[in-house]
Amino acid sequence: MKILILGAGGVGGYFGGRLVQAGVDVTFLVRPARAARIAKDGLRISSTLGDATLPVHVVTQDTLTTGYDLVILTAKAYDLDSAIKAIAPAMSATSVVLPLLNGMAHLQTLDAQFGAARVLGGVAYIAATLSADGEIRHLNNVHRLAFGAREAAQEKICAAFANITQGAQLDLVHSTDIVQAMWDKWVFLAALAGMTCLMRSHVGDIMQTRAGERLMLALLHECAAVARAEGHAPAEKVMENYRAQLTLKGSTFAASMLRDTESGGATEADHILGALLALAQQHQQAAPMLETAYTHMQTYAVRRARE
């Protein structure tokens, strides 16, 4: 199986690097400057789960050709249109896309472009970033990638991917209900991103305030209610785990959206918070915490554009 990964940043570079270590045929589609850096230094990963410096195969837009069985998409939601344009030349009649974006709205766009039969479901669980010197820095000890079929006919390629990646130094999960897994993460991430951005700090700091725990759980409840209305309610065991993580005293956990905001960058607020709020409103559900969190991020975007 030949695999193309769009980008070699925190997510794509980390997961792709671990697949390369396991002998999987992986090519990275990168910009010229990133290609030059990798050619000089290799793909470098810094992680408590094992450092690595790897020689990897890269292509740039002008050298990209078809012939890939699986294309892994790790772009941010706000770059989805340009990401689709970038990978289009690599997509043959049988190529399949595995998107690792957050939320659900990207599926509709990808389905319209390539056909639903060629778009798998996927979820990445990792905190990683690309440093200024080109090193991929793994920020926690979680490196889980869940993937699965959205249609029965996709099971064959999912099984093939699971087979070739068995030796990878990753927590790889071939999910039997990937759509539910995607909804579960969306619920959690919307609560985490909404609150850590709204309060401009990590979970532990929020938990030291008088109303922090109550407000965090209220937002989580609103997000879960939307999933329930859409027919994808998280299981109680899942919610129990989320409540524990989001109210853990002393935790330094925060969403990457907070890092993006603090650095003055673009964010996925529309895709993660806005899309969920739109569904709440369609179902006529009250979601004051979600609306406040999204309005806060909209205000940030307006000010960012103005300044």
pLDDT 10s digits, 226-270? 999 999 999 999 999 999 999 999 999 999 999 999 999 999 999
Angle, vertex CA 179, rays to CA 175 and CA 181, nearest 5: 60
Three-state secondary structure call for residue 59? strand
DSSP character at residue 215: H
Q: Does domain 2-176 have CATH number 3.30.830.10?
A: no
Looking at residues 209-218, what average pLDDT do you find?
A: 98
Instruction: Find where tokens 């772009």 sit.
Output: 75
Residues annotated as catalytic are 185
Angstrom distance (rounded) from CA 192 to CA 241? 13
The predicted pLDDT at position 176 comes to 96
Amino acid at 234: P
pLDDT tens figures, 180-197: 999 999 999 999 999 999
* pLDDT for res 102: 95
Phi, psi of 232 (to 5 degrees): -135, 50
Q: What is the pLDDT of residue 180?
A: 98
Cβ neighbour number for residue 96 with a 10 Å cutoff: 21
Task: Quote the DSSP letter at residue 233.
Answer: P
Q: How far apart are CA 239 and CA 122, in angstroms?
A: 20
Contact 8, 30 (CB under 8 A): yes
Share of the chain above pLDDT 70, in %: 100
User: In angstroms, what CA-CA distances link 213 with 93, 107, 210, 258, 286?
Assistant: 50, 33, 8, 18, 20
Q: Report the distance separating Cα 96 and Cα 244, nearest Å.
A: 37
Q: What is the mean pLDDT of the chain?
A: 97
Would you identify the CATH topology of the domain 180-306?
Answer: N-(1-d-carboxylethyl)-l-norvaline Dehydrogenase; domain 2 (1.10.1040)
Radius of gyration of the chain, Cα coordinates, nearest whole angstrom:
19
- The confidence score (pLDDT) of residue 48 equals 96
Report, as an integer, the average pLDDT of 203-228. 98
Report the Cα–Cα distance between both ends of the chain, in Å, rounded: 47
What is the per-residue pLDDT for 58? 98
The reported pLDDT for the residue numbered 170 is 96
pLDDT confidence of residue 268:
97
Q: For residue 59, count other CB atoms closer than 10 A to its CB.
A: 15
Would strands 96-99 and 2-6 be described as parallel, antiparallel, or unpaired? unpaired
For position 83, what pLDDT does the model report?
Answer: 97
pLDDT at 248: 98
Q: How many Cβ atoms from other residues are within 10 Å of residue 132's Cβ?
A: 5
pLDDT at 192: 98
- C-alpha to C-alpha distance for 244 and 78, rounded to whole angstroms: 30
Q: For position 72, what pLDDT does the model report?
A: 98
Pairing between β-strand 121-130 and β-strand 25-29 as defined by DSSP bridges: unpaired
**Do residues 157 and 96 touch, judged by C-beta distance below 8 A?**
yes
pLDDT at 231: 98
Query: In the prediction, which pLDDT does 16 show?
Result: 98
Give per-residue pLDDT as tens, 108-162: 999 999 999 999 999 999 999 999 999 999 999 999 999 999 999 999 999 999 9
pLDDT of residue 191: 98
Maximum distance among all alpha carbons in the chain?
57
CATH 1.10.1040.10 location in the chain: 180-306
Q: Please, where in the chain does CATH 3.40.50.720 lie?
A: 2-176
Question: 107 — phi, psi (to 5°)?
Answer: -60, -40
In this prediction, residue 165 carries a pLDDT of: 96
Of the pLDDT bands very low, low, confident and very high (cuts 50, 70, 90), residue 283 is very high
**Contacts of residue 103, Cβ cutoff 8 Å, sequence gap at least 6:** 77, 182, 186, 189, 268, 271, 272, 275, 276
Percentage of the chain beyond pLDDT 90 is 100
